[in-house]
Amino acid sequence: SQKIEQNSEALNIQEGKTATLTCNYTNYSPAYLQWYRQDPGRGPVFLLLIRENEKEKRKERLKVTFDTTLKQSLFHITASQPADSATYLCALDTGGFKTIFGAGTRLFVKA
Partner 1 sequence: SQTIHQWPATLVQPVGSPLSLECTVEGTSNPNLYWYRQAAGRGLQLLFYSVGIGQISSEVPQNLSASRPQDRQFILSSKKLLLSDSGFYLCAWSYSGSMVGAKNIQYFGAGTRLSVL
- Contacting residues toward partner 1, per CB under 8 A: 4, 8, 32, 34, 36, 41-46, 49, 89, 91, 93, 97-104
- Min CB(6)–partner 1 separation in Å: 8
- Min CB(17)–partner 1 separation in Å: 25
DSSP string spanning the chain? ---EEE--S-EEEETTSPEEEEEEE-SSPPSEEEEEEE-TTS--EEEEEEETT-SEEEETTEEEEEETTTTEEEEEESS--GGG-EEEEEEEE-SSS-EEE---EEEEEE-
- Min CB(101)–partner 1 separation in Å: 4
